[in-house]
Amino acid sequence: MMDADDTDLRAAAIMAEGVGLLENGMLVGALRCFDETIRLRERAPWDSSPHGAWLLAGAWLNRSDVLRRLDPPDHAGAEQALDMALERASRTVPGSDSRHVSRMALCFLNRASLRHETGRSDEALADFGSAENVLDQSPDRTAPSWQALKVMGGVNKALVLLDNNRVAEAHAALDACRDETDSLGEPDLTFRWHLAVCRAAGIMLDTEVGGNAPPISIETVVRAVRLASGLPIHRERIPELLAYGALLCRRCRPVGFAGFVNECLRIPGVLDHPRHRADLAGAVLLAIRDLELRVLHGWPGPDSGDDPVGLLRTLQYLHARLIDFP
């Protein structure tokens, strides 16, 4: 019979093996490892050991991750595993150790994401709130892991709110993690934050007809496009971002549209795909028509300083460039 130290070492080794298998997409083997880790750690006195509870919660958390990746996903089993992880994590006295805070918050964030995937937005938002409360107990708010979870929670919460057209609340969630997004400098999370901001702006522009104050800057959209172009996993988002930029320019800043298109032309790879070029060329053509209508209705004013003829020629030139690209 193994003593406690031997059991702990064996459980740690099996857990590490499972993580390696999971990273390589070997889900069945990973699940077997995590189940064996759970079996070993459940036999230990985790309910009186914060560290043991923390280790056990991690095994249940990983089990949930595997079940969500199955084809088809086992959502019910994944949620049950997260419930078990949260029950174990609740014994870790979160405020005493930043690692315990991170694990418990991650359990809530993962369950929130799962509940959103299964159409339960209100329950998802409740879990996001619970994650925020846990993170607020952290003894170290400067740790990169804490900042990453803060941004992850804020962005994912905002996306759930946007799916329910709760734009003001989504903006508040994004503003709450803006500083962490900037200081963390993690490309994936930084992109996701910018995507959520652009999506919020798109909803505002679609629903608030006639507004002249842009909800975000062109530079924000350009940065999102630049980030997406450098992250293969997010390149499929480029058409969505180009559409946001085009909508923002056409509705709020027609003079800035030429600059937006020029920036997109400069970012490597953004317009390599024919679909991206066609979408942007179509948006430029609409901008040309909008500009012609604006001129017919008296734009710009006598003291504006804008040059509608020059802008029209620039847009026509850019449209030709997109059609004949590269």
Query: Which whole number is the average pLDDT over 2-28?
Result: 90
Residue 53 CA to residue 193 CA, distance in Å, equals 32
Closest residue by Cα to residue 115 from 72, 83, 154, 152: 83
Query: Which whole number is the average pLDDT over 201-229?
Result: 77
94: CB partners within 8 A, 6+ apart: 100, 101, 104, 134, 137, 138
pLDDT for the residue 139:
83
What letter would DSSP give residue 216? S
Tens of pLDDT, residues 18-39: 999 999 999 999 999 999 999 9
Q: Report residue 4's pLDDT band, with 50, 70 and 90 as the boundaries.
A: low
Q: Helix or strand or coil: residue 23? A: helix
Query: Rounded mean pLDDT of the chain?
Result: 89
pLDDT for the residue 135:
92
Domain boundaries, the chain: 186-326
Straight-line distance from the first to the last Cα atom of the chain, in angstroms, rounded to the nearest whole number: 70
pLDDT for the residue 305:
67
Of 23 and 184, the one with more pLDDT:
23
Q: Helix or strand or coil: residue 188? A: helix
Query: Which whole number is the average pLDDT over 182-202?
Result: 90
* CB-based contact 132:144 (threshold 8 Å): no
Q: Report residue 96's pLDDT band, with 50, 70 and 90 as the boundaries.
A: low
Tens of pLDDT, residues 109-166: 999 999 999 999 999 999 999 999 999 988 888 888 899 999 999 999 999 999 998 9
Q: Which of 12-16, 201-205, 249-253 has the highest mean pLDDT?
A: 12-16
DSSP 133-154: HHHTT-S-TTSHHHHHHHHHHH
pLDDT for the residue 194:
93
pLDDT for the residue 306:
74
pTM (2 decimals)?
A: 0.84
Long-range contacts of residues 164-169, Cβ cutoff 8 Å, at least 24 apart: 164/121, 165/203, 165/207, 167/200, 167/203, 167/204, 167/207
Q: How many CB atoms lie within 10 A of CB 181?
A: 23
Q: Report residue 45's pLDDT band, with 50, 70 and 90 as the boundaries.
A: confident
User: CA-CA distances (angstroms) from residue 65 to 27, 157, 213?
Assistant: 10, 19, 43
Tens of pLDDT, residues 70-94: 999 999 999 999 999 999 998 876 5
